[in-house]
């Protein structure tokens, strides 16, 4: 890899980057390999990044990658847990690849990270828990996008400080849910319905909500 080459992202991280607002300072929390921070710096979305991970070994991987692209001088590397990494105000912070319960706990511990920065969150479990925490910590979900990568579905949420009282349906199914490909959204709802129908005991209300969303997707086709 050379300094002049643009790094490539998979569909999940590409969706995260697409929702990330242009910021003088940004943050990638739990950065692991550092690919997202690399793209945000290369694309000009951020002039400077805080790149953090709770693991020193993982952060070394990010340091190596960003050094290869000659971007390390625009990065502050921090070994820290969650929003403790935010040593200065940032326009937006991304948290990806963690469970919804973990991200919710991070937010509840620090309800106004770095001066109420925008949050771009990609959780792979317990999304209702995360949505409830966002609402209780006075964050509104601007967009929630379904991304399909490697045969798996991922949720990416863009949240901004502001009050929003979500319904039970929005907490459990999603708020402002969209997808780059409408067929991905339909397939997601169908996949989710299959999971819910196999659960014991079944949540009939959630099943009915999912069927409503599937019918709506068909009506828009």
Rounded CA-CA distance 127/221 in Å is 27
pLDDT of residue 20: 97
Rounded CA-CA distance 30/59 in Å is 9
Backbone φ and ψ of 11, nearest 5°: -65, -35
pLDDT of residue 113: 75
**Under a CB-based contact definition with an 8 Å cutoff, are residues 198 and 164 in contact?**
no
The model's pTM = 0.93
Span 9-28, pLDDT tens digits: 999 999 999 999 999 999 99
Burial of 210 per CB tally in 10 Å (0-12, 13-18, 19+): buried
């Amino acid at each position: 890899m050379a300094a002049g080459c643009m790094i490539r992202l998979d569909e999940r991280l590409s969706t995260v980057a697409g929702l990330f607002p242009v910021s003088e300072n940004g943050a990638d929390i739990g950065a692991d390999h550092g690919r997202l921070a690399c793209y945000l710096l290369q694309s000009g979305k951020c002039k400077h990044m805080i790149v953090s991970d709770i693991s020193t070994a993982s952060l070394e991987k990010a340091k190596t990658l960003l050094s290869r692209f000659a971007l390390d001088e625009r990065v502050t590397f921090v070994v820290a847990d969650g929003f403790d990494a935010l040593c200065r105000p940032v326009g937006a912070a991304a948290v990806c690849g963690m469970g919804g319960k973990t991200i919710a706990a991070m937010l509840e511990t620090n309800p106004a990270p770095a001066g109420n920065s925008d949050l771009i969150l990609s959780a792979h479990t317990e999304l209702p828990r995360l949505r409830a925490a966002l609402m209780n910590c006075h964050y509104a979900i601007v967009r929630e996008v379904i991304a399909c990568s490697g045969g798996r579905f991922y949720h990416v949420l863009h949240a901004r400080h502001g009050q929003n009282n979500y319904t039970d349906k929005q907490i459990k199914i999603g708020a402002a849910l969209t997808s780059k490909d409408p067929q991905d959204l339909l397939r997601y709802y169908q996949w989710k319905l299959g999971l819910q129908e196999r659960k014991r005991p079944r949540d009939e209300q959630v099943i009915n909500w999912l069927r409503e969303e599937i019918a709506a997707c068909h009506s828009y086709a």
